[in-house]
């Protein structure tokens, strides 16, 4: 136990004063997000992520939003296990035809008002996979999309930026 | 492993006049560079091919040796479709691994190729089938790992596998009709899909009539940030009686949409087969194309590829070790390892311009050079990470509540791992150790010392420990590679004069061996792209190792295997 505490103390708080990542922007971004979430969502914005056919690259970077550096929860944004609890759906991947129904069902299960954010180049426009016998292409070909955050995959900072832009636009 | 008795006793088989594996003996390393470096052939390592040849010809089976230079170092045989089953039977006796199956529509016929391996040597056996109603004896009764690959081929090419015990569709849900075969050339990539693809409701899962047994459907949309797939549990109380996986949800037609691409386009696509394995998949595809054209990669380019591949291995192991600990409620480790992973990814971004290293491996070499300063910095970071790992390991080992959940959970026996042909850390944690980097090192691994990592317990703890040990092994490799990064070109220009050719690539990705076959047409465009992620053989292991565990331990067991859905579904 003492070694755990020692390790925690020696690592200290890594949560961004944005080190190598592009900017000192993160804190500013986070502050703005926090204010929006407080005002519009009463302090808590719930996100449900749906992989509709991604290569898993976007998921890895969405995971990173929860690591100690970005720690997106401190801004009031958290990931939930059910679409029933969500304000926002984050959709990744070109929508594979085998996931088309599941994505629609997830969308329908999310209570209104809701936003859909297409994460990554594939969800934005089909990316490398496009439209084919097996792929519906962009997420907007299947469900209404409110915002797009392109990138292959988008960096965690880009995702926070994109979320903020979505909130500002509304 | 000890050679089986008859493999050493040469007396019991008549000496065949024709010894195809001798072809290997004349295969020499290209002089100017060692792009295609495979360790020099060792007669002992390929003696099993001679035994297999004898065993088959003794049964009156005709085999034609079909040496194909661009498929070297693999040996190529041709045989009749009706003898296909005997091949599997004899190969099983020889203790071979069954490593893959692909079909190719050549217009007037279909060509099937099965890949077998032992001692790091690859044997490709081919047979031609009529386009109309093709039938082939199944390999699945001898190699359970062949089950899903054959069903994949049945769904996409319309081949009937005789003697296959499971006639259910696999990769096909409802996006195309049973009589449509998307990988046939006549089938357009755009297909003829309905506006709304119905859900796959009537897949015949194993059901139970016993009222005490619960049937628990999970997925395809899971309760986390994770890929989609369906799991059907039969459980009594908490104990899992049976688990059935249903995958294919992220099938994006990768094999089909690869067709017509140029070399660079294929490398980009291969880098997106499974986003966490972008380096290794792109490397395998590039290796296949480079072999097809006997194209050389400069030494620095080759060493940088290995730097990228080992960095990818480390990043994934770091993330997963943390995630496994998190699944049993030990967030300390999760935060520590995700911190280390993030630092590692930021270095990737600083040095290579991409956190996950996408599009870094390109045909002919790598896209980004590493300058001297970055090389020194990477050396420092390697040391730093090693020290962090030294500090964290005793904490994990000494944590009783963590070890209580990991030790003894999800045991995969050696026998099962071997029967399924499990790869990477999943096999290695059960004592079934295949590592191409050691068995048959491809450049630049032939010049490196690689620490062998293996355990025998086969439980979640063993898989975690194997990955922990692999972290150290990879750090050691990075140190050796950095010391060898002599100045030079990182890429050789891709040939502008195209020709029809085929090539075969195998790379040890972080999940295990990745196998890739590429056929290029006369314009140098992709005519067939086949890739086999190690997950193909590791997913079935999950169904086995979960037996007797409790449902709440499924996420833990699943994470400890961490199969790729995207890499499996293609």
A22 occurs within a structural domain: no
Mutation target to probe the A interface, by most A beta carbons within 10 A, among B177, B250, B570 is B250
A6 occurs within a structural domain: no
- What mean pLDDT, rounded, does chain B reach? 88
A69 occurs within a structural domain: yes
Q: For B233-251, give one letter per residue: b (16+ CB within 10 A) or e.
A: bbbeeeebbbbebbbbbbb
- Selected residue with higher pLDDT from A56 and B451: A56
Q: What confidence score (pLDDT) does residue B43 get?
A: 65
Q: What confidence score (pLDDT) does residue A16 get?
A: 66
Query: Taking the alpha carbons of B335, B336, B339, B344 in that order, is the dihedral positive or negative?
Result: negative
Give the pLDDT mean for B280-289.
Answer: 95
Q: What confidence score (pLDDT) does residue A5 get?
A: 87
Q: What pLDDT, in 10s, does the model give residues B300-314?
A: 999 999 999 999 999
Q: Is the pLDDT of residue B41 over 90?
A: no
A1 occurs within a structural domain: no
Q: What pLDDT, in 10s, does the model give residues B332-358?
A: 999 999 999 999 999 999 999 999 999
Q: Which of residues 478-537 of B touch A (CB under 8 A)?
A: none
Q: How do the residues of chain A divide into helix, strand and coil, expressed in percent and rounded to 5?
A: 45, 15, 40
Mutation target to probe the A interface, by most A beta carbons within 10 A, among B190, B220, B249, B252 is B252
Q: Name residue, tokens 């994109």.
A: A162
User: What ipTM score was computed for the predicted complex, to two decimals?
Assistant: 0.87
Q: Is the pLDDT of residue A157 over 80?
A: yes
Q: How do the residues of chain B divide into helix, strand and coil, expressed in percent and rounded to 5?
A: 40, 15, 40
Q: What confidence score (pLDDT) does residue B1 get?
A: 38
Q: What are phi and psi of B345, to 5 degrees?
A: -70, -35
Find chain B residues with C-beta within 8 A of A21's C-beta: 346
Find chain B residues with C-beta within 8 A of A96's C-beta: 175, 249-252, 569
Domains annotated on chain B, with CATH: 17-25+32-162 (3.30.460.80), 208-252 (no CATH), 254-563 (1.10.645.10)
Distance CA B148, CA B251 (A): 14
With CA atoms as reference, the chain B residue closest to A131 would be: B190
Q: Is the pLDDT of residue B512 over 50?
A: yes
Q: What confidence score (pLDDT) does residue A23 get?
A: 55
**Of B228, B391, B394, Cβ closest to residue A99:** B228
Q: Is the pLDDT of residue B289 over 50?
A: yes
Measure B223 CA to nearest chain A CA, in Å: 4
Mutation target to probe the A interface, by most A beta carbons within 10 A, among B221, B227, B321 is B221
Measure A40 CA to nearest chain B CA, in Å: 25
The answer to whether A78 faces chain B, any CB pair under 8 Å, is: no
Q: Is the pLDDT of residue B13 over 80?
A: no
Q: Which of residues 441-480 of B touch A (CB under 8 A)?
A: none
- Selected residue with higher pLDDT from B36 and B432: B432
Q: Which of residues 218-237 of B touch A (CB under 8 A)?
A: 220-221, 223-228
- Selected residue with higher pLDDT from B467 and A10: B467
- CATH number at A141 reads 3.40.50.12280
Q: What confidence score (pLDDT) does residue A21 get?
A: 46
Distance CA A123, CA A103 (A): 12
pTM of the model: 0.90
Q: Is the peptide bond before B553 cis (omega within 30 degrees of 0)?
A: no
Measure B55 CA to nearest chain A CA, in Å: 43
The answer to whether A106 faces chain B, any CB pair under 8 Å, is: yes
Measure A100 CA to nearest chain B CA, in Å: 6
Band of pLDDT at residue A77, cut at 50, 70 and 90: confident
Distance CA B422, CA A107 (A): 37
A103 occurs within a structural domain: yes
CA B211 from centroid of its chain's CA atoms: 40
The answer to whether A82 faces chain B, any CB pair under 8 Å, is: yes
Per DSSP bridges, beta strands B121-130 and B75-79 are parallel
Looking at the 3D structure of chain A, how many domains does it have? 1
Measure B173 CA to nearest chain A CA, in Å: 6
Neighbours of A153 (CB within 10 A): 29
Give the pLDDT mean for A39-66.
Answer: 90
- What mean pLDDT, rounded, does chain A reach? 87
Q: What confidence score (pLDDT) does residue B169 get?
A: 92
The answer to whether A87 faces chain B, any CB pair under 8 Å, is: no
A53 occurs within a structural domain: yes
Q: What pLDDT, in 10s, does the model give residues B461-508?
A: 999 999 999 999 999 999 999 999 989 999 999 988 889 999 999 999
Distance CA B531, CA B507 (A): 11
A18 occurs within a structural domain: no
Q: What confidence score (pLDDT) does residue A170 get?
A: 62
Give the pLDDT mean for B146-157.
Answer: 95
Q: Is the pLDDT of residue B448 over 80?
A: yes
Band of pLDDT at residue B245, cut at 50, 70 and 90: very high
Candidates B202, B206, B207, B216; CA nearest to B173 is: B202
- Give the domain range for residue A79: 45-169
A12 occurs within a structural domain: no
Note whether A134 contacts B225, CB cutoff 8 Å: no
């Amino acid at each position: 136990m003492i070694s755990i505490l020692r390790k925690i103390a020696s690592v200290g708080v890594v949560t961004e004063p944005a080190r190598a990542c592009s900017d000192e922007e993160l804190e500013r971004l986070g502050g703005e997000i926090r204010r929006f979430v407080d005002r519009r969502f009463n302090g808590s914005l719930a996100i449900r992520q749906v992989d509709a056919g991604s290569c898993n690259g976007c998921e890895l970077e969405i995971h990173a939003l929860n690591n100690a550096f970005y720690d997106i929860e401190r801004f009031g944004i958290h990931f939930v296990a059910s679409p029933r609890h969500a304000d926002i759906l984050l959709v990744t991947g070109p929508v594979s035809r085998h996931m088309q129904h599941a994505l629609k069902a997830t969308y329908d299960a999310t209570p209104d008002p809701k936003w859909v954010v297409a994460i990554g180049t594939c969800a934005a426009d089909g990316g490398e996979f496009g439209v084919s016998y097996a792929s519906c292409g962009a997420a907007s070909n299947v469900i209404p999309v409110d915002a797009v955050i392109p990138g292959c995959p988008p960096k965690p900072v880009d995702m926070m930026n994109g979320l903020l832009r979505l909130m500002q636009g509304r | 492993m000890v050679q089986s008795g008859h493999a050493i006793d040469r007396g019991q088989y008549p000496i065949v006049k024709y010894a195809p594996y001798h072809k290997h003996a004349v295969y020499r390393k290209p002089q100017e560079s060692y792009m295609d470096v495979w360790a020099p052939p060792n007669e002992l390592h390929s003696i099993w091919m001679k035994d297999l040849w004898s065993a088959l010809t003794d049964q009156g089976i005709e085999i034609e040796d079909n040496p194909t230079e661009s498929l070297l170092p693999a040996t190529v045989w041709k045989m009749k479709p009706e003898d296909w089953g005997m091949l599997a039977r004899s190969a099983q006796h020889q203790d071979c691994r069954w490593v893959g199956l692909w079909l190719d529509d050549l217009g007037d016929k279909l060509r099937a190729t099965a890949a077998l391996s032992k001692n790091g040597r690859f044997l490709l056996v081919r047979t031609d089938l009529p386009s109309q109603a093709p039938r082939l004896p199944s390999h699945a009764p001898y190699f359970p790992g062949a089950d899903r690959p054959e069903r994949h081929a049945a769904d996409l090419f319309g081949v009937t596998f005789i003697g296959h015990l499971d006639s259910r569709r696999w990769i096909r849900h409802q996006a195309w009709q049973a009589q449509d075969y998307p990988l046939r050339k006549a089938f357009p990539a755009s297909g003829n899909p309905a506006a709304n693809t119905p859900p796959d409701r009537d897949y015949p899962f194993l059901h139970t009539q016993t009222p005490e047994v619960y049937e628990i459907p999970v997925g395809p949309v899971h309760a986390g940030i994770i890929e989609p797939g369906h799991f059907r549990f039969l459980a009594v109380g908490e104990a899992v009686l049976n688990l059935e996986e249903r995958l294919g949800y992220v099938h994006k037609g990768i094999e089909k949409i690869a067709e017509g691409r140029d070399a660079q386009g294929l490398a980009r696509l291969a880098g997106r087969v499974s986003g966490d394995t972008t380096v290794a998949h792109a490397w395998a595809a590039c290796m296949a194309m480079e072999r097809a054209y006997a194209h050389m990669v400069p030494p620095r380019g080759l060493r940088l590829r290995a730097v990228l591949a080992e960095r990818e291995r480390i990043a994934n192991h770091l993330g997963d070790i943390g995630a496994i600990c998190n699944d049993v409620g030990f967030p300390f480790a999760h935060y520590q390892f995700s911190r280390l992973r993030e630092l590692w990814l930021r270095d990737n971004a600083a040095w290579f311009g991409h956190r996950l290293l996408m599009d870094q491996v390109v045909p002919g070499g790598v896209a980004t050079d590493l300058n001297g300063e970055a090389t020194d910095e990477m050396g420092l970071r390697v040391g730093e990470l090693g020290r962090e790992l030294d500090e964290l390991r005793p904490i994990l080992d000494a944590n009783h509540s963590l070890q209580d959940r990991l030790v003894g959970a999800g045991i995969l026996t050696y026998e099962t791992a071997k029967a399924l042909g499990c790869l990477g850390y999943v096999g290695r944690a059960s004592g079934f150790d295949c590592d191409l980097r050691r068995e048959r090192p491809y450049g630049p691994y032939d010049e490196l010392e690689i620490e062998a990592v293996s355990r025998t317990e086969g439980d979640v703890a063993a898989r975690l420990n194997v990955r922990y040990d692999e972290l150290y092994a990879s750090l050691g490799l990075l140190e050796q590679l950095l010391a060898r990064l002599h100045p030079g070109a990182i890429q050789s220009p891709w040939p502008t004069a195209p020709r029809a050719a085929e090539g075969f690539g195998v790379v040890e990705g972080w999940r295990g061996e990745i196998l890739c076959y590429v056929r290029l047409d006369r314009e140098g465009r992709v005519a067939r792209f086949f890739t086999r992620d190690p997950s193909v053989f590791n997913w079935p292991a999950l169904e086995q190792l979960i037996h007797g565990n409790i449902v709440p331990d499924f996420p833990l067991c699943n994470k400890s295997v961490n199969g790729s859905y995207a890499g499996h579904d293609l």
